Amino acid sequence: MAILAVNAGSSSLKFSLHPLQDGQVQPFVLSGNIQGLEPHGTPEMSWTYLGKKHAEALVVSADSSPFATALQGVRALVQRLEAAPDIQAVAHRVVHGGGVFTESVLVTPEILDKLASFNSLAPLHQPHNLEGIRQFQAAFPELPQIACFDTAFHASMPEVDYAFALPRSLQDQGVRRYGFHGLSYQYIMSVLQEHTIRGRGRVVMAHLGNGASLCAALAGSSVATTMGFSALDGLMMGTRSGALDAGVLLYLLEQGWTHAQMEKLLYKQSGLLGVSGISADMRKLRADGSENAQRAIDQFTHRVIRETGALVACLGGLDALAFSGGIGENDAVLRAQVCERLAWLGIRMDAQRNQEASGKQAYAIHAPDSSVEIWVIPTDEGRVAAREAAALLARQDKATAQGQAPATSALA
């Protein structure tokens, strides 16, 4: 048996198949990505199965959509793969669970309706996550669909960190800091704790990619994070602004900007793209070499350094620093610059190991005399989602065996 993990976006679909062995989720045997799922797009599916890479174009029929075609492509692929394990459930990454969902849940119509009420809090992600669930329900009607939340890992944050300095009545309505990238942080933390005792101490994790955030963890639990009410706060990102004085938005309102214009500005036209005017891709900016490209890189790096310092203050020190995400895992220059600016913490990087780190699992890059351990840990959100789904199914099986009615909803 296996769990199929899914991450549905606006124009792409990532999936991975994780076998179960003695009830434990194993690394994926199948991993794939389908691009071109925007309206009138041409889906292209690439995948790796047992270490071998493949690719094919998917043909959209007149009575179908790119997304529906992609799902049928995934189903057909899994069915035709030699020796592929049977799927027991589909685990979906869902960005926002609000203050309601603090653990994974079996999806019901009522839960889908509640999750849709959070769409405005994560407009780049939530609607597409939920559409993925709906489409997979139609394509795999016999399988349980399980929602796994990015916000759940941060449910342990104390009120002093998640509360805004606003009237309590607004907090009672759900206006508070939630935090995101939780599935990634859950995976990084589990790997770090497998490799070093420092993972049980004061840790800052840096998920740096097109979406970027930092998380401070103490004894394995989140105590502070840079993202907040929405996925806009904190670090500068690929196309998102990060932390911004609310007065800027009031000014734009006075200038006649509409909600739609401001949403597009903050989510799609800011960050690395907005500052550079060139690209949201750090690799392209590194290769460009222009003054505008360097300005964007410097600003991104500075925000990482500044916010790391703030989280270290919340922790009262630092035992380990972990880099992950597309930029964190692959940009050795950024890692070196961040660690150089944090040398006052006793951080010492091994330059050679830093250059060697990309593409390796859980690779330590600190020097022997470093007071802080530094790690590069490629994240695997799909495996965490699969673990969450397997654990939920095991709890339900246990409840059924004991003659209890298994809970299927956090709203029950």
Numbered residues of the known binding site: 7, 14, 93, 207-211, 281-283, 326-330, 381
Ordered DSSP codes for 310-373: HHHHHHTS-SEEEEEHHHHHH-HHHHHHHHHHTGGGT--B-HHHHHH-TT-SSEE-B-TT-SSE
DSSP class of 215: E
Characterise 374 by phi-psi region: left (phi > 0), alpha (psi -120 to 50), beta (else). Answer: beta
Q: Catalytic pick from 22, 113, 150, 288?
A: 150
Neighbour-count burial of 189, counting CB atoms closer than 10 A to its CB (0-12 exposed, 13-18 middle, 19+ buried): buried
CA pair distance 390, 400, nearest whole angstrom: 15
CA pair distance 11, 351, nearest whole angstrom: 38
Pick out the residues of the known binding site for substrate.
93
Pick out the residues of the known binding site for Mg(2+).
7, 381
Spatial neighbors of 215 by CB under 8 A, at least 6 apart, are: 153, 154, 179, 181, 185, 204, 205, 207, 222, 224, 225, 226, 311
> Active site includes 161?
no
DSSP class of 52: E
CA pair distance 147, 169, nearest whole angstrom: 29
Pick out the residues of the known binding site for ATP.
14, 207-211, 281-283, 326-330
Q: Is 154 helix (H, G, I), strand (E, B) or coil?
A: helix
Active site residues: 150
